[in-house]
Structure 1
């Protein structure tokens, strides 16, 4: 996925603006989205990583896009109190799950020989690939392959 194009062209065409903030102004998170205001804010160093095609830069943009697609309200952001809702109701968990599904489609997960292979073919981190495969095994969407990914 061309995440630079998503941030710089696709999101503005959909009515969203983006803003790049200095690291000192946004030191607690890489980026955030305020769907009600049509705004995505990305930390400058993350934007630079994105420009280089870095995995974390790319996944950050997809993660913020997931918040938009899932129509999350700003009140459910990372600072929300834990234990007040089920884990799957958490906006961060939902955005991470959607990011993983977008970056590592089920078919790629089924075809990958290992988490390392999945990371390579999908352009993600090995850690993310292991997490994605583990979730799919636990959900029964991939069977008989657990030993390949642990």
Structure 2
């Protein structure tokens, strides 16, 4: 765990080869206060370990020339969304708000998850008519 002054630019980071996650103190404390950001941050960082990423990029990193799906950050975000908002929950929800309430995520994350699943043909866009913009 690190203080806010030590991790001013990021909430957490992972050293996958050592299976180590370092959290800013406020993120750690947020886990005990049911904070959505803290919960998703920890799952995201653990995703880097599960996905066996040798090197992770922080938000300010300049990306190389590769497909977006080859990016370790994209992969960790996708796994975080799948863990926090499984397809069955997305199929049961009638709106991003309902999904965020069911799964304990932010409205923004739920909107993005539904949008991606609609674009991938895994959810019927008519189910969410009026709630999202495609």
Question: TM-score, normalization: structure 1?
Answer: 0.82
Report how far residue 29 of structure 1 moved: 0.7
Aligned-partner SS, 1:33? strand
Task: Please state which structure has a larger fraction of its residues in helix.
Answer: 1
Pairing partner for 1:138 from 110, 119, 128:
119
> Which whole-Å deviations, capped at 9, do the CAs of 1:65-111 have from their partners, x for residues lacking one?
1111100112x312543252111111111101100000000010011
Matched, 1:33 2:14: yes
Residue in structure 1 matched with residue 57 of structure 2 by the alignment:
77
Asked if structure 1 preserves the Cα contact closer than 8 Å seen for 2:94 and 2:127, the reply is no
Q: Residue 87 of structure 1 aligns with which residue?
A: 68
Aligned-residue CA RMSD (Å): 1.3
Match of 1:73, SS?
Answer: coil
* DSSP 3-state at the match of 2:102: helix
Of structures 1 and 2, the one scoring higher in RCO (CA 8 A, sep 6+) is 2
Residue equivalent to 1:43: 24
**Would the alpha carbon gap of residues 128 and 147 (structure 1) be closer, same or farther in structure 2, given more than 3 Å must change?**
same
Counterpart among 77, 95, 100 of residue 119 in structure 1: 100
Structure 1 moving runs of 4+ over 6 Å: none
Deviation at 1:38, TM superposition (A): 2.2
SS across alignment from 1:36 = helix
Aligned length: 130
- Kept after mapping to 2: 8 A contact 1:113/1:148: no
CA distance in 1, matches of 2:64, 2:123: 30
TM-score, normalised via structure 2 length: 0.91
Structure 2: runs of 5 or more not aligned: none
Unaligned runs of 5+ in 1: 1-19
